[in-house]
Structure 1
Amino acid sequence: MDAAQSLPIGKRLTFRILITTLIGLSLTLMAIGYTLLLSWQLEGGAAAINEAGSLRVRSYRLGMVLEHVSSTTAAEEMEQFNNTVLDLQTGDPKRPLFLPATPAIRDQMNVVEGDWQRRMQVFAMRAEQAPEGPVRQQALREYADALPGFVESINKLVSLVEVELSEKTTWLRLCQTILIFMSLAASVALLYLLYLWIVGPVTRMQTGIARMTKDDLSVRLPIETEDEFGVLAQGFNQMADRVQTVHRTLEVRVHEKTAKLQAQNHEMSTLYEIAGFLAGPHAIEELCRGFLHRIMQRIHADGGTVRILDNQSDNLHITVHEGISEKMIEEEHCIKTDDCLCGAAVSQGIIFVRDFRQINNQKRYRCQEEGFFSIAIFQILAREHVVGSFSLHFTEERVISSEERRLLEILGKNLGVAIENQRLIAKEKEFAVSQERNLLAQGLHDSIAQGLNFLNLQVQMLEDSLIRNNLEEVRDIAPLLRAGVEESYEDVRELLLNFRTRLQENNLESEMRNVLAKFQRQTGIHGVIEFVGSGAPVAPEQQLQILFILQEALSNVRKHAQASEVRVKVENERDFKLTISDDGSGFTMETVRQKGDAHVGLHIMRERAERLSAQLNIESVPNKGTTISLYLLRQGRLVA
């Protein structure tokens, strides 16, 4: 728009259209005006012919009036004749009425007016004023003799006017014909100019736009004029140049972005693959080996190592290696953190060596002696703490890009987390084994150790009786020894049964029924179990602790309660509740508190309840039995 407004006014299309329109309108108005003028003249000439023709009639009628009518009527006729002559001389634009302004008509009109003024009016006035008699008759004869010549003058005037009007009629028809041809010519010229100035440029521009929509970015419009369409064509060409340039640049950018996205996809796939591997249940050495192998494939490294840091001795130990000679591994299987590049990376961070020849040649680098040209060393981090380092060795010059550096840093952190997780899992397993051993030791102390102590006392008494040769005491001690051995044997079997218990197919109900059935077979005590509720299943790790608590409770019933019946009730709603009640001898809670940790069975049950995040309640009345209740609230339940 700015370029169009800056055009000179003579070159603007709007100015040309305006000038053409004004010229055409002026010519049309002139032709129409001239036609109207001719029509007006023809109309006025026709009225003049009528008036001139009426003079002949008035001349004859004046003669008749003079002969037979009074002088008053003759005077009126002469006055009307004079008015008509005056109208023909001066004309009347309102009617319209006027004689054509040609010299012949004007001269003839003067002749008619002169004849009238000098002859015919004089003769008429004499006849009018003369009394009846020879003088009047003489005046009438003179009027009658002059009348044919006067009428002939009027006829000549009418003929001249008719000839003039005939010529004007011809001119009118010629002007109308010319106006028709002018209209046709103007229409043709207007169409040509519209095509030349508007339709042609618009068509060319439409064609160019259509080609551009079909991705023909090489299209250009010819600049044939200097008007607005020329400016528009120039702007179109500039736009096409810009679009073509942008398209070429865009293609380059698309290729660059595509390559970048492919690299990122490769990077992400590598990250997901290695992260998925590190998340698996692998030993630390297997984790490091799989990690190193995948990293070397991704980076196209020729060798590599993974070193784990020993924080106590500040040593780095090679855990796994690939593409490295045994001689180098023998020399570097254990290095200090300030020794060589791999050790320095632990404290300094990432280390890149693009060309060993460009660094200190006086210092010995075993990697360079192995024939490696470049090396990249990254830290293995776990929660911002250095766990170790891994190195990638290249036999040719290698530059690590920023994307690869970011990927390797992330993978180093993932490896550190995986190593730390495996260490925590190992510690957790060690702690779990320790706890189970503690429970086993408590069980042995509560049952077998006390039984063996009893047997030891009985054996000492047996030895004393044999020394004294008291067979009566020997016979009394022997059944006690047998009973003690059987009791210890039962305790061992029960402990082995409890610690070898495993849930089959995650079915707590069937396992609890099996435990109660074995208890009935071994002790002969009647048992009843009841399951209530349709809550979600308990998580497997919690089911196993519940089963251990049931086994421990039944073991206490066998050892101490002297009961005849045991009832077990399981209520599984949003909360979980286990109730074990017997009709045995019972005890007082004061007695339990006095024994403290010596009552190992109850202590073991409380520890298992704490593992469950559950509440264990014990209610017992001497000679009225004992009830043990385990409450696992919904907040403490794990998802199965």
Structure 2
Amino acid sequence: MSTPSDSSEHADVAPPLAPFPRRLSTRIIVLSAVALALVLSMIGGTLWLSWQLEGAGAAINDAGSLRMRANAVAIALWETRLGEPADLDDQLKLLDDTLRRLREGDAARPLFLPNDPAIHAQFDRVAAVWDAQLKPAVLSERDTGEGEPPKYLALLPGFVDEADRLVGMIERENARKTAWLRTSQLALAALSCVGTAAIVYLLYLWFIVPVQRLQEGLSRIESRKFDTRLPVDTEDEFGYLAQGFNRMVGELQALYRDLAALVEAKTAQLAVQNRELSLLYEMTACLNGNESAEVLCGDFLKRLMREFDVDGGSVRLVSAEDSKLHMLVSEGLSEELVNAERCMGVNDCICGSATSSEYAVMRSPRSMTGTDREYSKYCIRAGFVNVAAFGIVSQGESLGMFSLHFRRERAMSPSEVQLLRTLGRHLGVALKNRRLATLARQLAVSEERNLVAQGLHDSIAQGLSYLKMQVQLLDKAVRARDLDEIGELVPLLAGGVEESYEDVRELLLNFRTRLGPGALRPAVEDTVARFQRQSDAEVTLDYREEGGAPLPADQQLQVLFILQEALSNVRKHAEAQSVHVTVVNGRDFRLLVEDDGIGYDPADLDSAGESHVGFHIMRERARHLAATLKLDGRPDHGSRVELVLGAEARMAA
């Protein structure tokens, strides 16, 4: 492993592309081609020797058969001279065919004489002895008579000797080639061992050594020794890889040198982001409370002063009555400053400017001029050198502003400014929600008071009006001392008082009704039972649960009020003998009240308008539920009240 100083010249500039023999791919191809050529040549040599041995073996076999063929000819010639049947011509042909095969060879078997001039000369002598001596002797002695063929038998030993000499020469040549075959096989084995060792050594030099250097370099890099450099002593692929490794290590060394500063900066950035997220979470939890606006803004201001190390601050809201900024809460401000700026215009000073600007306003009180100078003097007397003001906004509406006062120079980063603007919007949403909640409660109270007034008008006011008229008649009868008239009026007055008392009790019971989840059915049963006690009519209740979800408490209460009002109208006006109440809680919620009383003309109901206060109250409550209310009736055929709360309007409990 070299040091950075002695290898830096290799790591800076990459050399040009290496010549052909230096590339690893070229080396591998050349090495493989040489090894393949050597192996194929050795294998080819052994194949050629084995082929030669096989052909020579066949030649030995056929050359050895010449002696047998010559003896067979002698036997056939003997039998012919004795007059016995013989195959002399066949034997002659077989011997001639054997000589022809030895002369011409047979590649299919294979069969051929070794390529040796001495062997071919010996074969020519054997063939010449046969063609010139033995074969003519056979032909001349075949028909000469009986007895031994003296000439052929005299020549036969010489032919056999020449054939034996030929066989011996072929066998010796075959033994020599067998020795060559063994030698070539041993050479092939030795070449395989040497070649394998050479290839392993070359691959070790070309691959293993560079890879080991890379591994060692990586190990040193893992130990954070970024001054490690690899020697670039080749111009092949591993040389290029070593150069790239050195460049990479150089860049890592430069990066690691600045890593501490980068980590510190990133850590500081993450700390700021965590602080902002924590403050946002804390403020969100604080602003979601149920405290009053003054308590809410006070907590908001205290948290800001603690988080941003603020010396003083205030929260001011725009009044809808005079469109001026009124100080709601303040912390760390002098009494003189608070009294002077308790109420100010929306465009006065720094604080007023923040209400009409969507950006933060940050200025020094000493730099103010004109009319703003009058307000800035109080900040200067209190020792504040910097003031930052941010708007309190909700859905584009400016609700006020909050200010942060510093007794030292304080520069705010863009992230802090953005965070404070975001907090101002969160505060604006919280204040807006409280205003809307207050308006909603006021509206609910107003609606309920309206319904109460209508109920009082429909029951108590009419009863009292009736009693007033009866009292006037009683006064007239008393003055006239008409005892009979007095006797008739007193029971009427008592009945009117009793009826008014019952109306008051019913109204009080209705107004005090409170329902929780799952309490509608018992309340409906109690209402029907109370109606049964107050009326002579026969009442039946059919309450069916058909898979609908329970209604929330406020919807249950409105449904119960409509049922109470419908039954009250039946009791007061219908003169009914039977009343049937049906409640079905399915996909839609359905309430049906039917009676067989005197009924009414719907046209009279429509022309009367709101004078039928009971019907008007039911319509108001149905409209509050977003439900459908159907009022139907015919004279002498009863009446019908049906309330349908659709699935799209009903809410889950």
TM range (shorter): 0.5 to 0.7
Relative distance call for 1:526 and 1:257 in structure 2 (3 A) is farther
Q: Contact conserved, 1:350 with 1:377, CA < 8 A, in 2?
A: no
Task: In structure 2, give the amino acid aligned to 1:477.
Answer: L
Whole-angstrom CA distance in 1 between matches of 2:608 and 2:586? 36
Whole-angstrom CA distance in 2 between matches of 1:538 and 1:190? 88
Q: Residue 472 of structure 2 corresponds to which residue in structure 1? A: 460
Q: Contact conserved, 2:301 with 2:313, CA < 8 A, in 1?
A: yes
State the number of aligned residues.
481
- Where 1:389 maps in the other structure, the secondary structure is strand
CA offset at residue 636 of structure 1? 1.6
Superposed, 1:209-248 pairs within 5 Å as 209-212=218-221, 214-221=222-229, 223=231, 225=233, 233-248=242-257
Task: In structure 2, give the amino acid aligned to 1:276.
Answer: A
- Where 1:630 maps in the other structure, the secondary structure is strand
Q: Residue 47 of structure 1 corresponds to which residue in structure 2? A: none
Whole-angstrom CA distance in 1 between matches of 2:612 and 2:199? 121
Q: Does 1:513 align with 2:525?
A: yes
Relative distance call for 1:232 and 1:478 in structure 2 (3 A) is closer
Whole-angstrom CA distance in 2 between matches of 1:458 and 1:190? 133
Whole-angstrom CA distance in 2 between matches of 1:329 and 1:592? 63
Q: Residue 582 of structure 2 corresponds to which residue in structure 1? A: 569
Relative distance call for 1:563 and 1:197 in structure 2 (3 A) is closer
Superposed, 1:482-497 pairs within 5 Å as 482-497=494-509
CA offset at residue 368 of structure 1? 2.7
1:292-330 deviation line (CA, Å, top 9, x unaligned): 223223323222211110244221011122222333222
Return the match for 2:419 from 399, 402, 407: 407
Q: Contact conserved, 2:516 with 2:553, CA < 8 A, in 1?
A: no
Whole-angstrom CA distance in 2 between matches of 1:605 and 1:194? 100
- Where 2:631 maps in the other structure, the secondary structure is strand
Whole-angstrom CA distance in 1 between matches of 2:265 and 2:415? 15
Q: Residue 162 of structure 2 corresponds to which residue in structure 1? A: none
CA offset at residue 262 of structure 1? 3.0
- Where 1:585 maps in the other structure, the secondary structure is coil
Q: Does 1:432 align with 2:441?
A: no
Identical columns (%):
44
Relative distance call for 1:241 and 1:590 in structure 2 (3 A) is same
Q: Residue 6 of structure 1 corresponds to which residue in structure 2? A: 16
Q: Contact conserved, 2:360 with 2:417, CA < 8 A, in 1?
A: no
Q: Contact conserved, 1:504 with 1:511, CA < 8 A, in 2?
A: no
Q: Which deviates more, 452-461 or 586-595?
A: 586-595
Larger relative contact order (Cα-Cα within 8 Å, sequence gap ≥ 6): 2
Q: Does 1:448 align with 2:460?
A: yes
Relative distance call for 1:347 and 1:471 in structure 2 (3 A) is same
- Where 2:314 maps in the other structure, the secondary structure is strand
1:434-458 deviation line (CA, Å, top 9, x unaligned): 1111111111111111111111111
Q: Residue 153 of structure 1 corresponds to which residue in structure 2? A: none
1:339-398 deviation line (CA, Å, top 9, x unaligned): 221112112344444654555596533223222232211001111111100111223322
Return the match for 1:315 from 303, 320, 324: 324
Q: Does 1:302 align with 2:311?
A: yes
Relative distance call for 1:585 and 1:3 in structure 2 (3 A) is same
1:253-298 deviation line (CA, Å, top 9, x unaligned): 3443333233223212322332233234343223322322232233
Q: Contact conserved, 1:204 with 1:221, CA < 8 A, in 2?
A: no
Task: In structure 2, give the amino acid aligned to 1:6.
Answer: P
Question: Normalising to structure 1: TM-score of the pair?
Answer: 0.67
Superposed, 1:340-489 pairs within 5 Å as 340-353=349-362, 355-357=364-366, 364-489=376-501
CA offset at residue 206 of structure 1? 2.9
Q: Which deviates more, 315-324 or 347-356?
A: 347-356
Superposed, 1:35-434 pairs within 5 Å as 203-212=212-221, 214-221=222-229, 223=231, 225=233, 233-353=242-362, 355-357=364-366, 364-434=376-446
1:458-496 deviation line (CA, Å, top 9, x unaligned): 122222222222232222221111111111111111111
CA offset at residue 543 of structure 1? 1.1
Relative distance call for 1:249 and 1:528 in structure 2 (3 A) is farther
Task: In structure 1, give the amino acid aligned to 2:268.
Answer: A
Q: Does 1:613 align with 2:626?
A: yes
- Where 1:577 maps in the other structure, the secondary structure is strand
- Where 2:549 maps in the other structure, the secondary structure is coil
Unmatched runs of 5 consecutive residues or more in structure 1 = 26-93, 97-179
Relative distance call for 1:464 and 1:2 in structure 2 (3 A) is same
Q: Which deviates more, 526-535 or 547-556?
A: 526-535
Relative distance call for 1:600 and 1:5 in structure 2 (3 A) is same
Task: In structure 2, give the amino acid aligned to 1:459.
Answer: V
Q: Contact conserved, 1:341 with 1:351, CA < 8 A, in 2?
A: no
Whole-angstrom CA distance in 2 between matches of 1:199 and 1:580? 98
Q: Residue 560 of structure 1 corresponds to which residue in structure 2? A: 573
- Where 2:648 maps in the other structure, the secondary structure is helix
Whole-angstrom CA distance in 1 between matches of 2:199 and 2:532? 120
Relative distance call for 1:245 and 1:445 in structure 2 (3 A) is same
Whole-angstrom CA distance in 2 between matches of 1:394 and 1:331? 19
Q: Residue 638 of structure 1 corresponds to which residue in structure 2? A: 651
CA offset at residue 630 of structure 1? 0.9
- Where 2:273 maps in the other structure, the secondary structure is helix
Relative distance call for 1:259 and 1:491 in structure 2 (3 A) is same
Whole-angstrom CA distance in 2 between matches of 1:239 and 1:194? 26
Relative distance call for 1:506 and 1:396 in structure 2 (3 A) is farther
CA offset at residue 3 of structure 1? 5.5
Relative distance call for 1:2 and 1:494 in structure 2 (3 A) is same
Whole-angstrom CA distance in 2 between matches of 1:476 and 1:224? 132
Q: Residue 548 of structure 2 corresponds to which residue in structure 1? A: 535
The Cα RMSD (Å) is 3.6
Relative distance call for 1:506 and 1:414 in structure 2 (3 A) is farther
Q: Contact conserved, 1:350 with 1:376, CA < 8 A, in 2?
A: no
Q: Contact conserved, 2:232 with 2:242, CA < 8 A, in 1?
A: no
Q: Contact conserved, 1:4 with 1:227, CA < 8 A, in 2?
A: no
Whole-angstrom CA distance in 1 between matches of 2:333 and 2:276? 26
- Where 2:294 maps in the other structure, the secondary structure is helix
CA offset at residue 549 of structure 1? 0.1
Larger Rg: 1
1:124-165 deviation line (CA, Å, top 9, x unaligned): xxxxxxxxxxxxxxxxxxxxxxxxxxxxxxxxxxxxxxxxxx
Task: In structure 2, give the amino acid aligned to 1:546.
Answer: V
Q: Residue 145 of structure 1 corresponds to which residue in structure 2? A: none
Whole-angstrom CA distance in 2 between matches of 1:431 and 1:564? 40
Q: Residue 586 of structure 1 corresponds to which residue in structure 2? A: 599
